[in-house]
């Protein structure tokens, strides 16, 4: 039988933080978790858009619903968000690393990283490592990182992770999404080795109708892509369907750390959640460890620069 939001077990007493919760898959994930009893923290870069989402979700929310202003493209904001979680709740059961940006012209985060690698990967790396202490010891705590089919085309260019020598906006997006799944697997291995109560899982939505594509077209100004998305529209499923793999990873009792979930039809573009293939590079332990160490270094340097 197909897994739907009706299959989500009761989430009462659990606290979930979702990045990019004001739009698309994040908004649908927040709706589903809040209506199943979780207290949900909507981590959004715009307080106004976060409050609008909160107002939309409030009637269906069974427990707390709060907005946390958090910009993943600014590591000081990420650190402040983690401190706020510590002070406000002191615990966390589910972290949904969902927010993402796709295909802009080359731009930098506040800390000087290429925008897609900096937001999609480094921002979530920094947030996760800062929040893990709040999750440790919690029963069945989970970190779910949202990837993409783009991971299969991605390459981690360790000699040019910030695309300084050559910027291709799709190669940079694919790199960031490969980094997401690589990070999720390395995190799982480290948590398991430490005997942690936290597990790390990955999920991708297939093709889902959200603001990701319009925002990408708006930033690039590409008329060709605008037309391509219009022609491809029948292939896209709703944001609510696209959110199912990450909701499955977040809540299904049978979902396991180190696994990757995505849609089960049309080569992973549509359908209900099932376990799906992981990009080979993410399965290489040396690549995983190298990405972790580089990310730790970059995030650490940014914190030092801020303190100086
Ligand atoms: N839709 C698809 O077909 C598809 C396919 C594969 C993977 N994905 C992945 O799914 C995830 C969710 O995307 P979506 O499709 O739901 O797109 P979306 O509707 O555009 O939502 C993206 C969310 O990320 C937020 N965000 C962007 N930059 C941020 C930053 N610096 N700090 C904090 N939040 C930021 C956006 O905030 P604003 O509203 O303020 O811009 C928005 O809330 C992404 O990781 C994406 O890569 C989507």
Judge whether residue 1 has pLDDT over 80.
no
Question: How close is the Cα of 194 to the center of ligand 1, in Å?
Answer: 31
All residues at 6 or more sequence positions from 239 whose CB lies less than 8 Å from its CB, including other chains: 24, 25, 27, 28, 208, 209, 210
Nearest Cα to Cα of residue 7 among 238, 254, 209, 201: 254
222 Cβ below 6 A of ligand 1? no
Q: Where are the domains of the chain?
A: 13-205+239-302
What pTM was estimated for this model as a whole?
Answer: 0.98
Judge whether residue 37 has pLDDT over 70.
yes
pLDDT (tens digit, 9 = 90+) per residue, 282-296? 999 999 999 999 999
Q: What is the pLDDT of residue 307?
A: 85
Q: What is the pLDDT of residue 66?
A: 98
The DSSP line for 126-137 is HHHHHHHHHHTT
**pLDDT (average), residues 246-263:** 98
CATH code of domain 13-205+239-302: 3.40.50.720
25 Cβ below 6 A of ligand 1? yes
**pLDDT (average), residues 72-90:** 98
Q: Would you mind telling me the total number of residues written for the chain in this entry? A: 308
The token pair at 280 is 């080979």
- Catalytic residue numbers read 173
Judge whether residue 241 has pLDDT over 80.
yes
**pLDDT (average), residues 38-46:** 98
Residue 68 pLDDT grade (very low, low, confident, very high; cuts 50, 70, 90) = very high
Name the helix (H) or strand (E) containing 16: strand 15-19
81 Cβ below 6 A of ligand 1? no
Q: What is the pLDDT of residue 2?
A: 86
Q: What is the pLDDT of residue 272?
A: 96
Judge whether residue 174 has pLDDT over 90.
yes
**pLDDT (average), residues 91-106:** 98
Question: How close is the Cα of 213 to the center of ligand 1, in Å?
Answer: 10
Residue 138, burial from CB neighbour count under 10 angstroms (0-12, 13-18, 19+): middle
Nearest Cα to Cα of residue 257 among 93, 109, 141: 141
**Cα distance between residue 66 and residue 17, in whole Å:** 10
pLDDT (tens digit, 9 = 90+) per residue, 122-158? 999 999 999 999 999 999 999 999 999 999 999 999 9
275 Cβ below 6 A of ligand 1? no
Among protein residues, the one with the nearest Cα to ligand 1's atom 34 is 20
pLDDT (tens digit, 9 = 90+) per residue, 186-209? 999 999 999 999 999 999 999 999
């Amino acid at each position: 039988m197909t897994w739907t939001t009706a299959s989500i077990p009761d989430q009462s007493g659990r606290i979930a933080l979702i990045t990019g919760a004001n739009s698309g898959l994040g908004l649908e994930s927040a709706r589903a978790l809040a209506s199943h009893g979780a207290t949900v923290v909507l981590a959004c870069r715009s307080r106004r858009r976060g409050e609008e989402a909160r107002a939309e979700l409030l009637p269906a929310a069974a427990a707390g619903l709060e907005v946390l202003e958090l910009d993943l493209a600014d590591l000081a904001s990420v650190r402040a968000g983690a401190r706020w979680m510590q002070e406000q709740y002191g615990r966390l059961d589910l972290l949904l690393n969902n927010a993402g940006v796709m295909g802009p012209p080359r731009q930098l985060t506040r800390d000087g990283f290429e925008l897609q690698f900096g937001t999609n990967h480094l921002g979530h790396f920094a947030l996760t490592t800062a929040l893990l202490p709040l999750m440790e010891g919690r029963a069945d705590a989970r970190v779910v990182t949202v990837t993409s089919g783009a991971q299969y085309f991605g390459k981690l260019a360790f000699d040019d992770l910030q695309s300084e020598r050559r910027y291709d906006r799709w190669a940079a997006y694919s790199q960031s999404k490969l980094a997401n799944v690589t990070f999720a697997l390395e995190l799982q291995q480290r948590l398991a080795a430490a005997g942690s109560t936290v597990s790390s899982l990955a999920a991708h939505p297939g093709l889902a109708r959200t603001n990701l594509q319009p925002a990408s077209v708006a930033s690039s100004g590409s008329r060709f892509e605008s037309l391509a998305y219009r022609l491809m529209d029948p292939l896209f499923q709703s944001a609510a369907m696209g959110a199912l793999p990450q909701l499955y990873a977040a809540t299904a009792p049978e979902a396991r750390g180190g696994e990757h979930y995505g849609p089960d039809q049309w080569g992973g573009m549509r359908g209900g959640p099932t376990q799906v293939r992981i990009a080979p590079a993410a399965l290489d332990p040396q690549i995983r460890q190298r990405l972790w160490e580089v990310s730790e270094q970059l995030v650490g340097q940014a914190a030092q620069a801020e303190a100086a």
